[in-house]
Amino acid sequence: MTEQQNSTPASFQIEIDDNRIAVVSINVVNESQNWLSDGFIEELRDVMGSAIYNQARGLIFVSSKAKNFIQGYKLEQLRTKTDDEIKAFSREAQLVMREINTLKMPVIAVIDGECFGVGLELALACDYRIASEESYTKFAMPQVRSGILPFAGGTQRLPRLLGLKKGTTMLVSGQKIGAERALEIGLVDKLIPASNLFESAYNLLVNNQIQKIDYKNPIERCKRVRKQVEGNKFIRQKYLDYIENRIWHKYFGNYPAVSSILEMLKEPHFKQGLELEQKCLVDLLRTEQASVLINLKQSERNIKQQYNQRAQVKDVQQVSILGSGYMGAGIAYLTASKAQIPVRIKDIHPSEIQKALQTCYKLMQGAMKRKQLSHGQMIQRMNLITGGERLVAAQSTDLVIEAVYENLELKQQMVQESENYYSEETIFASNTSTFSIKDIASVAKRPENVIGFHYFSPVTKRQMVEIIPHEATSKKTIATAIHFAIQQGKIPLLVADKEGFFINRVLTPFLLEAIQCLVEGESIEFIDRSLQEFGFKLGPLEMIDDMGLDVLVKSNPAMVRELGARFKLPENIGLLIKNDRKGRKNKRGFYMYDSKGTRLQEDKSIYHVMETIARNDLESEQIARRCILRMINEACWCLQDNVILSKDEGNVASVLGFDFPDFRGGIYAYIDKIGAKEIVSQLRKHTQIYGARFEPCEWLLEQAES
């Protein structure tokens, strides 16, 4: 490289070499990821001006940050702008992307890592997208999850590149896709190993192997036909009406951004589509959903940053797991697959170890089928998992995770055995949902090394893990536990060592009230649909089937003992346990399941087992109110008992831990919106009708009075 443009702003730096290839390095200073700020539009114009002035014959966009192309744009910056300023900002972002798109030279986006939001809009404006084939390279248009839509032309370019069906799916779902899937659908042109990704892209330009793309006249016949068909306004409208109808039944109209995107896509012309994109951005930013979703995303980023700062310790190098049940197997899979470190499963039953290894293998195969792992990576990571009847690796094991069944004496025995075998530095983590970490650590010689590590079922799907120090846990142990959770790809949540911790404590009354509604004659599907209309992805009875009714029942006595009669099980629940209704894991729950565990329909024999008749006397709103009031009241109890560090953490935990509707901003944002007075009033009415389990907690009463 011979020429350096020193005046170029820090986020985008351009170098032009003797071959007249312009390389634009993306590096947002003082950020671990490339989050673009307001100045990115002018910065892009500056680097393009340099490329044109120096008569470059090709241009490459590449990130200087490891495993990250562009993370996106910080949306909180938009909220300080007026409507006219927002519209002008979108228009300028669209224009700069068009300027990239219409450069006389071919432009390549070299993508190694996450390419989200405005980063993907930038990549779409390039002629070619060449990505690394690594599992960490992912693509998404996640703006819809913040209540808005792409604002730099993404709503127009993505459907034109992928076709209306695939483009619409990416826009309205906000889901991440891996590199292999991106190649399949035509989002990227080539996949190259990360080690020679840039070199390959550079050689394509130097050797004149790629030309400028003419989007108005595609070469491939199928793209020409697709352009003609999808340009027909009638066909386009019919298809999008069909999609909107299907999506409404999934989201119940709770996400205005989805409807706006679908309505806007009915316009087949590019220029008019861009104008609609500007208008929709302004309209959506003023909605309540966008406000709470942006706040929630900002809280989530802040929490991740805070926990990263607390976790400045060395990586965990080796893990032992005591117990080979479904939870132990899931933790082993995460450790090998995500953290990529050796893990040993210890159990006294060899047959159970075999089952755990088979479970890990199935999970690895599933990741491979979803294009998250290559076959080679799957074999490599599977080889990190071993099992046996004895403890091994006394000196090299950093962390022991106990995942045996809920028995205090057994868990204490695990602590003692581990301390007698492993080194003095080894941390002992208990995956308990029932017992106090202080009680588990009471038999320890080194209680400062003992901590709680509460995973949720299914362990491979839930993003959050609760980390529970007791009063003697050392700061180093806490930092290492947080760091390991991040290694596993989890979001850690520090909670107090109190019964139920946070997520189970708030979720349990919600689930128990749903069962009580069933006991009183409401039907299974009606109860679940009532809560789905409120915004939950799964209804409470389906949630119980996922976790296992037996798990809920086993943890209940301790909750009643520590937290009171409001946690008492509904009377007829014992009949379900006698009938062996464990849910998805034994294919018998509130719903029927096929051999693969796929939900089929409600099991009507439940009514006979529970000695009740489905009468459906309540409206869906009444059912939802009962369940949500129980959840809200317990969330307030958690504040009263100092279970969590802040409301912000509680909001993020409620969304990631038990799928509280994100468009409501999390449970405490929802409490603030409704107001303590109204909540107390409703709780008192329900106390009169249904009993003492609805009595408001003291903290909530104080809030209502003040």
Outline where 102-153 has alpha helix (H): 118-125
Residues 272, 140: Cα–Cα separation, whole Å: 24
Alpha carbon distance 476, 482 (integer Å)? 10
**pLDDT score of 245 more than 80:** no
- Phi, psi of 615, deg, nearest 5: -110, -25
The pLDDT tens digits for 37-47 are 888 999 999 99
- Contact at 8 Å (CB) between 596 and 589? no
The residue-averaged pLDDT of 495-506 equals 94
The dihedral over CA atoms of 107, 112, 116, 120, expressed in degrees to the nearest 10, equals 10
Spatial strand order of the sheet with 12-16 comes to: 3-4, 12-16, 21-26, 58-63, 107-111, 128-132, 190-192
CA dist 406 → 155, 432, 629 (Å): 51, 7, 29
- How would you class 260 by CB atoms within 10 Å of its CB: exposed for 0-12, middle for 13-18, buried for 19 or more? buried
Top-confidence residue, 688 or 461: 688
For 144-174, the pLDDT digits (tens) are 999 999 999 999 999 999 988 899 999 999 9
Q: What is the pLDDT of residues 331-346, one digit of tens each?
A: 999 999 999 999 999 9
User: What is the model's pTM?
Assistant: 0.85
For residue 337, give Cα distances in angstroms to 135, 366, 465: 11, 12, 17
pLDDT given at position 219: 63
Residue 434: HSE in the Cβ half-sphere, 13 Å Cα cutoff: 18
Give the CA distances from residue 635 to residues 327, 501, 503, 696, in Å, rounded to whole numbers and listed in that order: 26, 11, 9, 11
- Strand-pairing partners, residue 451, are 429, 469
With 0-12 / 13-18 / 19 or more C-beta atoms within 10 angstroms meaning exposed / middle / buried, residue 57 is: middle
173-182, 246-255, 392-401: least confident range = 246-255
Q: Reduce the DSSP state of residue 15 to 3 states and report it.
A: strand
Nearest residue to 404 via CA among 366, 348, 478: 348
pLDDT band at residue 218 using 50, 70 and 90 as cut-offs:
low
Lowest mean pLDDT among 72-76, 512-516, 627-631, 669-673: 72-76
**What are the tens digits of pLDDT across the range 433-445?**
889 999 999 999 9
- What the block records as the tokens of 399 is 């962390």
Half-sphere exposure of 9 (CA within 13 A, CB side): 18
SS3 437: helix
